[in-house]
């Protein structure tokens, strides 16, 4: 599943489309996680893309009279192509910009767990977004805030930092990596994490996510940016996907365990 860094990399790749006008919309499959509005093709014609932002794993494409809220789901991807490039099997939506030299924003999603919503209201009040926690790279997400959220929770710390109501966008890969750098075992109870440890954890979450964005995300499960390029943060994974390989600090084999049906990776010696 594309996580926050991959979604942010996608958003950044789409910025050349800002201030461009939509020429045509082609919807080949309306059946995503939620059905696409049947009027979307007509609604978007001649609208200008004013702004691109992100909230959690949602891309917010602000147009003249409303906002597209796009989620990539498990396998979704947005790519930029030329109009004459033939669509592939799972290319469900084309949004075509420009008059003379047309550019296509193409939504591809083999598993169709993603979504595309149109709203003419404040997108931050949309039901999918309004209850999300703070962004991890903002000042609002700090040690005092996170410690307050964790001190009454008995669930494991990895589940807490992956809870989008506590903080958005810390997905499986980046939770595992941040906990490794923080020296915290992923299945430790949240209310057993000390305040000084929470302070380190917040710093590491911010550092890991910032680094992943700068390196184009992690190209696992075929993630590519809008131009078809791989990210390369996976080359820096210290624990994720490295079961039985030696810890890069102490040489202890990395352990894998399942937490809430997700694979989790950690070092038994470096994380307690």
Which tens digits make up the pLDDT trace of 164-218?
A: 999 999 999 999 999 999 999 999 999 999 999 999 999 999 999 999 898 877 6
CA 115 to each of CA 41, 48, 60, 112, 261: distance values in angstroms, whole numbers, following the listed order: 15, 21, 12, 8, 23
Q: What is the pLDDT, as a whole number, of residue 238?
A: 94
Which tens digits make up the pLDDT trace of 204-256?
A: 999 999 998 988 776 455 555 576 555 546 667 999 999 999 999 999 999 99
Share of the chain above pLDDT 70, in %: 93
Assign domain 143-266 to a CATH class: mainly alpha
Using CA of residue 24, residue 30, residue 34, residue 40, what is the dihedral sign?
A: positive
Is the confidence at residue 270, as pLDDT, over 70?
A: yes
Q: What is the pLDDT, as a whole number, of residue 219?
A: 47
Domain range annotation of the chain: 4-125, 143-266
Determine the average pLDDT of the residues in 69-96: 92
Determine the average pLDDT of the residues in 46-62: 97
Q: What is the pLDDT, as a whole number, of residue 235?
A: 66
Q: Which residues does the annotation mark as catalytic?
A: 2-3, 57, 262
CA distance 6 to 3: 5
Burial class (CB in 10 A: 0-12, 13-18, 19+), 190: buried
Contact (Cβ atoms closer than 8 angstroms) between residue 166 and residue 97: no
Is the confidence at residue 22, as pLDDT, over 60?
A: yes
Helices (H), ranges, 25-140? 40-44
Contact (Cβ atoms closer than 8 angstroms) between residue 249 and residue 228: no
Q: What is the pLDDT, as a whole number, of residue 73?
A: 93
Q: What is the pLDDT, as a whole number, of residue 153?
A: 96
CA distance 243 to 255: 5
Determine the average pLDDT of the residues in 67-95: 93
Burial class (CB in 10 A: 0-12, 13-18, 19+), 101: exposed
Burial class (CB in 10 A: 0-12, 13-18, 19+), 194: exposed
Neighbours of 225 (CB within 10 A): 21
What is the dotted CATH code of the domain comprising 4-125?
Answer: 3.20.190.10
């Amino acid at each position: 599943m594309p996580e926050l860094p991959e979604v942010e990399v996608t958003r950044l790749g789409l910025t050349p489309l800002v201030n461009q006008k939509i020429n045509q919309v082609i919807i080949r499959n309306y059946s995503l996680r939620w059905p696409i509005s049947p009027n979307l093709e007509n609604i978007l014609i001649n609208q200008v893309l004013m702004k691109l932002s992100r909230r959690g794993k949602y891309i917010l494409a602000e147009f003249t009279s409303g906002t597209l809220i796009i989620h990539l789901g498990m396998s979704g991807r947005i790519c930029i192509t030329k109009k004459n490039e033939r669509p592939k099997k799972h290319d469900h939506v084309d949004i075509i910009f420009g008059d003379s030299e047309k550019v296509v924003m193409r939504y591809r999603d083999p598993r169709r767990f993603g979504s595309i919503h149109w709203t003419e209201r404040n997108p931050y009040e949309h039901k999918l977004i309004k209850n999300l926690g703070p962004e991890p790279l903002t000042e609002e997400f700090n040690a005092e805030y996170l410690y307050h959220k964790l001190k009454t929770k008995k669930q494991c710390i990895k589940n807490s930092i992956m809870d989008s109501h506590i903080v958005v966008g810390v997905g499986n890969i980046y939770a595992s990596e941040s906990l490794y750098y923080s020296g915290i075992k992923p299945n430790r109870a949240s209310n057993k994490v000390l305040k000084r440890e929470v302070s380190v954890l917040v710093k590491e979450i911010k550092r890991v996510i910032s680094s992943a964005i700068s390196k184009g995300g992690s190209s696992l499960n075929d993630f590519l940016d809008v131009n078809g390029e791989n990210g390369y943060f996976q080359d820096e994974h210290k624990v994720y996907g490295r079961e039985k390989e030696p810890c890069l600090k102490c040489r202890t084999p990395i352990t894998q365990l399942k937490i809430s049906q997700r694979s989790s990776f950690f070092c038994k010696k470096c994380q307690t």
